[in-house]
Structure 1
Amino acid sequence: MLTITAVIRAKQDHEATMRQALLDVVDHVRANEPSTIGYYVSQDASDPCVFATYERYPDQAAMDRHNNSPAVARFFDIARPILDGDVILVSANEIASKGDAK
């Protein structure tokens, strides 16, 4: 399982725009990416300018489909001018998880 964790900081007073841009990506993933195992977006409880995503993919092809999707391109078109610093990305191989019991 491949994962991406992203930490994204929006400029002050742009939290709602960033939040909506991220939620639009989630809508795209739900509707168009059956091979994406999980796609989670969080907003920091103490600093609403900070967002995080946690993404799970079965293979590189699924990750590439997501990263090269029109939804991700739209997200960065919206996010780029309101980012406060660089997006912190951690790409990893998942080594353990607590999944749903079957």
Structure 2
Amino acid sequence: MITITAVITAKSGTEDVMRDALLAVAEHVEANEPETIGFFISQDSGDLRRFTTYERFADEAAMERHNSSDAVAKFFAAAKPILDGEVVLVNATELSAKSG
């Protein structure tokens, strides 16, 4: 399983815009990406400006399809002006997972 973890921090006052942009990607994934095995979004309870995504892909091709989708492009177009710093991305191979 191929994974991406992203840590995204929004500028103060733009948390709702960032949340909505991330949830739009999640809706796209649910409707259009069967090989995206999981797409999780979290909002930091201690700093509501910080979001984390954890994305699980069947393979590299599925990850590339996701990353090159219109939904991801729209997300970055909306997110770029409200980012507080760089997006931290970790691309990895999943070693273990507990489901259920």
> Which TM bucket (shorter chain)?
over 0.9
Q: CA deviation at 1:62?
A: 0.2
Residue 17 in structure 1 maps to residue 17 in structure 2? yes
Instruction: Give the SS at the match of 2:76.
Output: helix
Q: CA deviation at 1:13?
A: 0.2
> Unpaired segments of 5 or more residues in structure 2?
none
Supply the AA of the counterpart residue of 1:2. Answer: I
Output one character per residue of 1:25-79: Cα deviation in whole Å (capped at 9) or x when no partner. Answer: 0000000001110000000001000000000001000000000000000000000
Structure 1 segments of 4 or more deviating over 4 A?
none
Match of 1:26 in 2: 26
* 1:59-78 superposed matches below 5 A: 59-78=59-78
What is the root-mean-square deviation in Å for CA atoms of aligned residues? 0.5
Identity rate, percent: 59
> Unpaired segments of 5 or more residues in structure 1?
none
Residue 90 in structure 1 maps to residue 90 in structure 2? yes
Q: How many residues are matched?
A: 100
Q: How far apart, CA to CA, are the structure 2 residues paired with 1:99 and 1:15?
A: 30
Supply the AA of the counterpart residue of 1:14. Answer: T
Supply the AA of the counterpart residue of 1:48. Answer: L
> Normalised by the size of structure 2, how large is the TM-score?
0.99
